[in-house]
């Protein structure tokens, strides 16, 4: 009897060990899968993606952390995938894009309002029970990507808060005095400040250390960032302007996504149609690809609606001789 109970204990122990083993595996990051996921959403920034994936995996695997998983600074021209990469990272690491917490730092340009927004009002002031828009969501779920867009526009006081977040992985709410934990979060800051001069400064440099030196010198000389901020950043990435082919790939990606929103798979798009959309995009905006989504919606949404109404699941877009869109549906009815 006692032997039997011992055996059961042993089995229990084995079971427990197995369980904790599989639990710890759940928190590991498969670097290749992460890379594949990031590449499926972000085009033309492969070097950055590989490096980010490696950095995130290595930091994620630590048993203990006293700082965020990593603090990243994304630099480069507007519309090159900085925000998109932060979203894709969040989707992979934390299961959903909605775990991303985003702050537009142009709205954090005033000292008092910015600080209140992030960490709430002091006790006794209006709204102190509501807490901060940074601290409260972190209390509710500390597993997030926290994105600070256009970081150079934030007030210096906001930088002080960020230094605490990045350096100690903690931030205290003003009213409640409770401390938010950032040691399971990834911090991403983006900036398109000095994008042009940065592009020039790093032209021809291939070695990462030299590129970073050139960038840091430029940032320091221009006074864009306080040196302490750069000191807390694990890695700085300079996003490249997108080439024509990459924009075409993005257009295709966006068209596919639009179809999915109507429950329709797009199995083919004639290259000429993509070129038409890109030309229309260039006509309305010289800067990047922000208008592309709206242009694709204007041109294609109705085809998806009609296809769905006709009971189709898959479409292929061909081009007619006069350049108009021909939508072939499957199954046809």
Least CB distance to ligand ADP at residue 56 (A) = 18
User: Judged by CB under 6 A, which of 138, 187, 250, 295 binds ligand ADP?
Assistant: 250
Going residue by residue from 275 to 294, which x/- string records binding to ligand ADP, judged by CB under 6 A?
Answer: --------------xx--x-
329 forms beta bridges with: 315
Q: Is 163 helix (H, G, I), strand (E, B) or coil?
A: helix
Q: Tokens representing 233?
A: 């950043």
- Least gap, CB of 269 to Mg ion (angstroms): 26
Does 79 contact ligand ADP by CB under 6 A? yes
> Is residue 240 a contact residue for ligand ADP (CB under 6 A)?
no
Options 54, 65, 78, 153; binder of ligand ADP; rule CB under 6 A: 78
HEC readout, 196-225:
HHHHHHCCCCCCHHHHHHHHHHHHHHHCCC
Residues that bind Mg ion (CB under 5 A): 82-83
Sign of the alpha-carbon torsion through 254, 259, 265, 269: negative
DSSP reduced 3-state for 176: coil
Residue span binding ligand ADP (CB under 6 A) among the ranges 9-17, 41-49, 123-131, 209-217: 41-49
Task: Write down the least CB distance from residue 246 to ligand ADP, Å.
Answer: 6
How distant is the alpha carbon of residue 288 from its chain centre?
18
296 counts as binding ligand ADP under rule CB under 6 A: no
Which of the 8 DSSP states describes residue 1?
-
CA 18/CA 30 separation, integer angstroms? 20
Only segment of 29-37, 40-48, 155-163, 198-206 that touches ligand ADP (CB under 6 A): 40-48
Q: Please choose which of ligand ADP, Mg ion, none residue 290 contacts, taking the beta carbon within 5 to 8 angstroms, the exact cut-off set by kind.
A: ligand ADP
Residue closer to ligand ADP, measured from CB, 171 or 198: 198
Instruction: Give the C-alpha separation, 154 to 11, whole Å.
Output: 57
Q: Is 114 in the site for ligand ADP (CB under 6 A)?
A: no
DSSP class per residue in 93-120? HHSSGGGEEEEEGGGG-SHHHHHHHHH-
Residue 150 C-beta: closest distance to Mg ion, Å? 8
CA–CA separation, 247 and 45 (whole Å): 12
Determine which residue in the list 37, 67, 82, 144 makes contact with ligand ADP, applying CB under 6 A. 82
Cβ-proximal residues to 161 (8 Å cutoff; 6+ apart), any chain:
115, 118, 119, 171
In the bound state with ligand ADP, the residue whose beta carbon lies nearer, of 252 and 312, is: 252
**Which one, 237 or 317, has the nearer CB to ligand ADP?**
237
Q: Which residues bind ligand ADP (CB under 6 A)?
A: 42-45, 78-84, 190, 242, 250, 289-290, 293
């Amino acid at each position: 009897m006692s032997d039997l109970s011992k055996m059961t204990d042993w089995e229990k122990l084995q079971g427990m060990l197995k369980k904790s083993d599989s639990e710890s595996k759940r928190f590991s990051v498969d670097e290749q899968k992460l890379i594949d996921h990031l590449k499926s959403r972000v085009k033309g920034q492969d070097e950055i993606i590989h490096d980010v994936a490696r950095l995130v995996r290595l930091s994620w695997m630590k048993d203990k952390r006293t700082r965020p998983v990593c603090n990243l600074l994304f630099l480069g021209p507007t519309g090159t995938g900085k925000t998109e990469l932060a979203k894709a990272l969040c989707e992979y690491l934390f299961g959903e894009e909605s775990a991303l917490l985003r702050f537009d730092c142009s709205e954090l340009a005033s000292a008092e309002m910015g600080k209140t927004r992030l960490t709430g009002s002091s006790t006794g002031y209006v709204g102190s029970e509501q807490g901060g828009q940074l601290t409260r969501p972190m209390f509710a779920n500390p597993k997030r990507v926290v994105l600070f867009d256009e970081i150079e526009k934030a007030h210096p006081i906001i930088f002080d808060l960020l230094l605490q977040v990045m350096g100690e992985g903690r931030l205290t709410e003003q009213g409640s005095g409770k401390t938010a934990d950032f040691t399971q979060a990834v911090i991403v800051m983006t900036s398109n400040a000095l994008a042009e001069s940065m592009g020039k400064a790093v032209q021809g440099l291939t070695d990462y250390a030299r590129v970073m030196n050139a960038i840091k010198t430029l940032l320091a000389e221009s006074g864009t960032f306080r040196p302490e901020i750069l000191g807390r950043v694990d890695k700085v990435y300079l996003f490249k302007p997108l080439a024509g082919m990459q924009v075409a790939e993005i257009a295709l990606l966006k068209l596919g996504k639009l179809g999915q929103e109507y429950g329709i798979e797009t199995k083919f798009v004639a290259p000429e149609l993509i070129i038409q959309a890109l030309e229309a995009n260039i006509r309305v905006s010289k800067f990047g690809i922000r208008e592309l989504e709206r242009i694709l919606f204007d041109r294609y949404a109705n085809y998806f609606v009609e296809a769905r109404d006709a009971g189709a699941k898959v479409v292929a877009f061909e081009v007619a001789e006069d350049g108009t869109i021909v939508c072939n549906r499957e199954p046809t009815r």
